[in-house]
Amino acid sequence: MKNILLTGATSGIGLSIFELLIEQGYKIHILSRNKEKMEALCSHESASYSVCDIKNLQEVTEGINSAVSAMGSIDVLINNSGLGYFDPIANSNLDEWHEMIDVNVKGLLSVTHGSLEELIASKGHVINITSVASHNVFPNNVVYCATKHAVMAFSKGLRMELGDKIRVTSISPGAVNTDFIHKTTNEELLNQYKEYFKTALNPMAIAEQVKWAIEAPNDVLISEIIVRPNRPVK
């Protein structure tokens, strides 16, 4: 079975990915800031963790080294960590813009860069959890959309330059029923999103797409998956 490095595994989509892949027999090393939650998850013998803020390059480097020590290799990197603050541009907090860029873009780049040597050696696989916001721009979350467009461009570039050495998959979920929206401090928007997300995807639906991409035959590249709730388009 493949050895997996997963960011953001303690809640939402990442937690569902972790639970499904551990059940399937994969070894997983997780990077997260929440030590208490990771300790609870990693009671399983196939799981290990590093306390890591992906905004901190030293912690990223140490986390990747720990993953290699624990598992022996990195065969699959799943870049799942991400966050969004939703607000009209004119009302937005610049610190929130910077944090989205630091986590969604710079953090992802740091983990990918640090893992590339291992991934190339194992003829591995990078899976980036992007968003339908990689393909569209939506009012009130423009900077979030910009970060996800950047991740999509990076994913395509990885495939162009390293497609003979690694596989690269982008998975773009629509609305998923997690706590993701609760970082939004605009109460009016948050209440709107709460209603919309009540009928959103179960995060396990995204985990199933990750599993499918990992388990594709070696001569098959699933380059991109877009998955949305099955409901009327407004």
How far apart CA 12 and CA 20 sit, in angstroms, is: 13
- At 170-217, the pLDDT tens digits run 999 988 887 777 777 777 777 777 777 777 889 999 999 999 999 999
Neighbours of 111 (CB within 10 A): 25
196 an active-site residue? no
- At 130-171, the pLDDT tens digits run 999 999 999 999 999 999 999 999 999 999 999 999 999 999
- At 37-50, the pLDDT tens digits run 999 999 888 999 99
Catalytic residue among 49, 144, 193, 196: 144
What integer pLDDT is reported at residue 184 of this predicted model? 76
State which amino acid sits at residue 144: Y
- At 49-91, the pLDDT tens digits run 999 999 999 999 999 999 999 999 999 999 999 999 989 999 8
Phi and psi torsions of 128, nearest 5°: -105, 120
- At 2-34, the pLDDT tens digits run 999 999 999 999 999 999 999 999 999 999 999
How wide is the angle at C-alpha 202 spanned by C-alphas 200 and 203, nearest 5°? 115
Provide the percentage of residues in the chain whose pLDDT is more than 70.
98
State which amino acid sits at residue 207: A
Q: How many residues does the chain have?
A: 234
pTM exceeding the 0.75 threshold for the entire prediction? yes
Q: Which of 9, 108, 7, 117 is nearest to 68 (CA)?
A: 117
Q: Check whether 233 has a pLDDT greater than 70.
A: no
Q: Which of 214, 7, 224, 35 is nearest to 110 (CA)?
A: 7
What integer pLDDT is reported at residue 83 of this predicted model? 93
